[in-house]
């Protein structure tokens, strides 16, 4: 597992890590509630800087009143702001919801696009959100890179990059497409529950034997 580890050896290690995490987290889906592609997109936009639980508390009322892009495109921004205030950054998120809904209506006939290139043109949609949509709605393998995935893929020695697009490429080269979405979702869960940013629980980690950073992660001093 040193830096001279060969590509075949890294691939084998990635497969072992993927299998171990699959055992630990068999349910590899986002925990956001949604019934349509638009609702998945809207819920994912709302989940920025917010827990999925909190998003799931506000989306039933939001989707009752504004169930699809057409309804959202014509919405009164103040009404949406009121409905989503609990998710934080509610003014920016309202703008993103209305603007992306308008783009979907005007450019895509009201249907959420199913291509990465089109998804990332929508307001408030980056590669992470686009990959969630591709993987969870359209069954197209997408590697979701959030803050946890960025941290864990580096600690596990699967990439040296911090750029989401590069991390996607590096991980896609290590694993079969069918693993991309579930593996990234499992890394998020493992980052939340075990491999914490400041104090990783290496002693409780199911992939410790395959981790080059076991016990040697440097903890940054707390900000004053
Ligand atoms: S061994 Fe430690 S650093 Fe490595 S993945 Fe597990 S918790 Fe994270």
What are the tens digits of pLDDT across the range 24-74?
999 888 889 999 999 999 999 999 999 999 999 999 999 999 999 999 999
Least confident of 85-94, 97-106, 119-128, 208-217: 208-217
Query: Which of 133, 157, 175 is the last residue in one of the domains?
Result: 133
Q: Is the pLDDT of residue 2 over 70?
A: no
**How many domains, the chain?**
2
Structure token digits, residue 62: 């939001």
Q: Considering 68, 146, 179, 210, which one is annotated as catalytic?
A: 146
Note the pLDDT of residue 137.
95
Which of the listed residues 217, 218, 219 should we mutate to test ligand 1's pocket, taking the one with most ligand atoms within 8 A of CB? Answer: 217
Note the pLDDT of residue 3.
55
Q: Is 138 exposed, middle or buried (0-12, 13-18, 19+ CB in 10 A)?
A: middle
Query: Are both 116 and 153 inside the same structural domain?
Result: no
Least confident of 28-32, 82-86, 182-186: 28-32
Residue for token pair 């529950």:
193
Q: Report which protein residue has its CA nearest ligand 1's atom 8.
A: 195
Does ligand 1 come within 6 angstroms of the Cβ of 79? no
Query: Are both 55 and 112 inside the same structural domain?
Result: yes
Q: Which atom of ligand 1 is nearest to the CA of 206?
A: 6
Query: Are both 153 and 191 inside the same structural domain?
Result: yes
Q: Which atom of ligand 1 is nearest to the CA of 215?
A: 2
Query: Which of 112, 133, 154 is the last residue in one of the domains?
Result: 133
Note the pLDDT of residue 223.
43
CA 128 – CA 120 distance, rounded (Å): 9
Those residues with Cβ within 8 angstroms of residue 177's Cβ, 6 or more apart along the chain or in another chain: 141
Under the banding of pLDDT at 50, 70 and 90, the label for residue 218 is: low
Q: Is the pLDDT of residue 224 over 50?
A: no
| Parent domain of 163 | 7-28+143-210
Query: Are both 120 and 199 inside the same structural domain?
Result: no
- DSSP state at residue 6: -
CA 101 – CA 98 distance, rounded (Å): 5
**Catalytic status, residue 146:** yes
Query: Are both 125 and 42 inside the same structural domain?
Result: yes
Q: Which atom of ligand 1 is nearest to the CA of 201?
A: 7
Distance 215 CA to ligand 1 centre (A): 7
**Catalytic status, residue 160:** no
Residues 92-111 as b or e (16 or more Cβ within 10 Å = b): ebbebbbebbbbbbeeeeee
Does ligand 1 come within 6 angstroms of the Cβ of 58? no
In a domain, 1, yes or no: no
Query: Are both 150 and 122 inside the same structural domain?
Result: no
Q: Is the pLDDT of residue 222 over 60?
A: no
Note the pLDDT of residue 213.
87
Percent of residues, the chain, with pLDDT higher than 70: 95
CA 114 – CA 126 distance, rounded (Å): 14
Mean pLDDT of 160-186: 95
Does ligand 1 come within 6 angstroms of the Cβ of 214? yes
Q: Considering 68, 93, 128, 179, which one is annotated as catalytic?
A: 128
At 103-149, the pLDDT tens digits run 999 999 999 999 999 999 999 999 999 999 999 999 999 899 999 99
Does ligand 1 come within 6 angstroms of the Cβ of 211? yes
Under the banding of pLDDT at 50, 70 and 90, the label for residue 219 is: low
């Amino acid at each position: 597992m040193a830096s001279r580890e060969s590509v075949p050896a890294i691939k084998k290690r990635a497969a072992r890590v993927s299998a171990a995490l699959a055992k630990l987290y068999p349910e590899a889906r986002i925990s956001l509630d949604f019934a349509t592609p638009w609702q998945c997109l809207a819920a994912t936009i709302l989940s920025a800087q917010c827990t999925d639980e909190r998003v799931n508390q506000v989306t039933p009322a939001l989707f009752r009143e504004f169930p699809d892009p057409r309804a959202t495109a014509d919405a009164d921004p103040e009404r949406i702001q009121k409905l989503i205030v609990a998710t934080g950054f509610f003014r920016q998120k309202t703008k993103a919801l209305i603007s992306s809904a308008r783009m979907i209506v005007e450019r895509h006939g009201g249907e959420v696009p199913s291509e990465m290139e089109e998804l990332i043109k929508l307001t408030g949609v980056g590669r992470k959100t686009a990959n969630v949509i591709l993987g969870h709605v359209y069954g197209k393998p997408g590697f979701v890179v959030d803050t946890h995935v960025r941290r864990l893929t580096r600690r596990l020695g699967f990439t040296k990059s911090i750029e989401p697009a590069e991390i996607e490429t590096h991980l896609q080269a290590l694993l079969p497409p069918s693993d991309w979405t579930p593996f990234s979702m499992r890394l998020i869960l493992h980052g939340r529950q075990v491999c914490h940013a400041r104090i990783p629980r290496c002693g409780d980690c199911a992939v410790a034997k395959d981790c080059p950073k076991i016990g040697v992660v440097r903890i940054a001093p707390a900000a004053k």
